[in-house]
Chains A and B, each alone.
Chain A
Amino acid sequence: MKSFLNKRAPYIFIAPTLLLLILFSIVPIAVALVISFTDMDLGGLANMDRVGFIGFDNYAEVIQDPVFHKAIYNTLFYVVIGVPLVILFSLGIALLINLGTSRIFKVFRVVYYLPSVTNIVAVAVVWSYLYNPALGLFNYMLNSVGLPDVPWLTEPTVAKLSLILLALWKAIGLNMIIFIAALQGIPRSYYEAAQLDGANTWQQVTLITVPMLRFAIFFVSITTMIGWLQFFEEPFVMTDGGPLDGTLSVSLFIYQNGFQFNNFGYAAAGSFVLFICIIAVTLVQLRLQKNETDMT
């Protein structure tokens, strides 16, 4: 019996997690796939007899929906600008904090991490105030050094950038912590050897630290990418997709169609388009990573 258990160990390690994931992620997405081929709405939710199969109609319609196009454009905008910034900033801050040797650097760790623990409701209230056109702190600061107002949330492109700024503020902390944990996994002896060879701080960072962090960077870039493709909370609480749909993300589009208009079939179709895009992007990233190393 014991040896049997030992042989089966890997399966036993992964079984509970896998069961839960299948039950609460895989089965629901399969259900959603079925729903995406129907005209399910609130009435259909209450009474299954009212649900009819309509084939690919939802998909055909969502692909032609100009609002959906806008949402895709915005989401790409978020990803292309947001992801590199998150990685750059969180890695930079982690390196700086890790190099520091005085007490104050421990404080920085807490300071930069704080935003990621804050409740989104509170974040929305505070940031709406900072961005406020009339009495916002940001415009007040700009005016005090003689610069004009910025239309933070009232001009579509600027509004996207404003949301990226807010999301950065929220996302840096978590990734910074991951990088710090990874940095601490680098054996001290490497640095000592480099110091004996007369490498300065900058050389130590570029020649030892960054290459050793390859896994961490890969991990953070994949999870960040997936997170930003599902960018939802910030536009949801700050702008609700406005102005002129300028900040609407695909996730928010799905949410609005599903939970505000009760078009579950249509929303499910939209979400599968998103799901497939995310898978494609992730596979490309994994492929790139594979080419770089022999990681399986």
Chain B
Amino acid sequence: MSSITAGKRKGSQEGKSGRTFQWISGIILTIGGLFFLLPFFWMMMSSFKPENEIVQIPPTLWPETFTLYNFQYLFENMNFGIYLRNTLIIVAFSFVGLLLNAAAGFGFAKYDFKGRNALFVLVLATMMIPSQVTMIPVYLILNTLGLTNTMTGIVLPGLVGAFGIFLFRQFMSTVPTELLEATRLDGASEYRIFLQIVLPISKPILAVQAILTFIAGWNSFLWPLIIANDEGLYTLSVGLSLLKGQYAANFGLQMAGATFMVAPVILLFTYFQKHIIENFSISGMK
């Protein structure tokens, strides 16, 4: 939006080379983008095809027979409403985890306390643990705590993550210490500094984290399946995996389920990046 003014402000020579550069990068990105979109396009098209057309030779790109049967089946025969509700609950909880991660990242970034490095290495080490190994021990711990078959049990193990803490720490170490000191001199408590100064400054990284958190929650699969002894706790991903029969693949249904799962994320992300990242965009002239 501000490109025009920016262009005018620059010397004419740079304007020219800048504009050529813009065109070149635009073309490169377009070619790459088409490759990136191709699988999606195919997925969405397939969700409107009847099963026999999906497996037909040669394959069709555009549906010959357009049908809404797959979507209809999803909502009539699978409890997709319940799955959706559970998925949203998990997403809501995971945002609490996001705040905990941010607090920990801040603690590691801006304080010098006893054992800081050792603890941080411990946090990093958890990122290196292959998840296939800890699954059964984690389940047994939850079982000891009496948390199997509860929403808490589904949410708790993945609530915080080293990746998030690491990311926040990296970002928050760039917050100027003088700024914090100045606020301290005004008599603000450490918690107020965190909430009123550091979090607002960290908005770009919060946005990144929020998206990541949302996606992890939205696609959560293995824990809900393993912890829940009651279908009322299943998530959308689990529902999607139930569509696969022992002998029949049901591609059409799987594609429809996947499309249904991806669409909201696309909408949210488009909206999200417009409103959050944009505010901090440095491409605009102030």
Q: Do A and B touch (CB < 8 Å)?
A: yes
Binding site for B on A (CB under 8 A): 2, 5-6, 9-14, 16-18, 20-21, 23-29, 31-32, 35, 45, 93, 96-106, 108-123, 125-127, 129-130, 134-135, 137, 140, 169, 174, 177-178, 180-181, 183-188, 195, 200-201, 215-216, 219, 223, 226, 229-230, 232, 250-251, 254-255, 258-259, 264, 267-268, 271, 274-275, 278-279, 282, 296
B131 closest partner in A (C-beta): A230
Which of B122, B190, B205, B270 has the most A CB atoms < 10 Å from its CB?
A: B190
Question: CB-CB < 8 A to B28: which residues of A?
Answer: 96
What residues of A have a CB within 8 angstroms of the CB of B212 in the complex? 174
Enumerate chain A residues within 8 angstroms of B163, measured Cβ to Cβ: 223
Known: A18-B119, A137-B42, A181-B205. A28 touches B283 (CB 8 A): no
**A17-B128 CB under 8 A given contacts A99-B21, A137-B42:** no
Interface SS of chain B: helix
The answer to whether B283 touches A104, judged by C-beta atoms less than 8 angstroms apart, is no
CA–CA, A97 and B204, complex, Å? 16
Is A20's CB under 8 angstroms from B160's CB?
Answer: yes
Given A134-B57, A215-B170, A219-B170: A13 touches B138 (CB 8 Å cut-off) = no
Instruction: Give the top 9 A-B pairs by smallest Cβ distance, nearest first.
Output: A122-B258, A13-B107, A101-B3, A28-B137, A10-B111, A28-B134, A9-B190, A25-B126, A31-B137
Asked if B233 is an interface residue, CB under 8 A from chain A, the answer is no
Partner of B29, one of A93, A169, A177, A255: A93
Q: Hey, which chain A residues are within 8 Å of B215, CB to CB?
A: 116-117
**Pairwise interchain contact A101-B283, C-beta atoms closer than 8 A:** yes
Report the minimum CB–CB distance from A141 to chain B (whole Å). 10
Interface, chain B (partner A; CB < 8 A): 1-3, 6-7, 10, 14, 17-18, 21-22, 25-26, 28-29, 32-33, 36-40, 42-43, 57-59, 100-101, 103-104, 106-108, 111, 113, 116-117, 119, 122-134, 136-138, 140-141, 156-157, 159-160, 162-163, 165-167, 170-171, 173-174, 189-191, 194, 204-205, 207-208, 211-212, 215, 218-219, 237, 240-241, 249, 251, 254-255, 257-259, 261-262, 265-266, 269-270, 273-274, 277, 280-283, 286
- Give the contacting residue for B129; candidates A119, A232, A255, A275; CB below 8 A: A275
Report the minimal beta-carbon distance from A154 to chain B, rounded to whole angstroms.
19
A-side contacts of B166, CB under 8 Å: 219, 223
A267 to B131, CA, bound (A): 12
Determine the residue in chain B with the shortest Cβ distance to A277. B128
Pick the contact of B282: A13, A126, A174, A188 (CB < 8 A).
A188
- A275 CB contacts on chain B under 8 angstroms: 128-130, 133
Query: What's the least CB distance linking B118 to chain A, in Å?
Result: 11
Tell me which residues across on chain B come within 8 A of A129, comparing CB atoms.
Answer: 42, 59
Residues of A within 8 A of B131 (CB): 230
A108 to B32, CA, bound (A): 10
A201 to B15, CA, bound (A): 10
- Identify which of A24, A31, A35, A130 contacts B39 (C-beta below 8 A): A130
- A104/B130 in contact, CB under 8 A: no
Our pick among B108, B130, B170, B171 for the contact of A274 (Cβ within 8 Å) is B130
Docked complex Cα distance between A2 and B113 (Å): 19
CA gap between A264 and B36 in the complex, in Å? 39
Contact B280 A100 (CB under 8 A): no
Q: With A101-B2, A184-B280 known to touch, is A111 a contact of B39 (CB < 8 Å)?
A: no
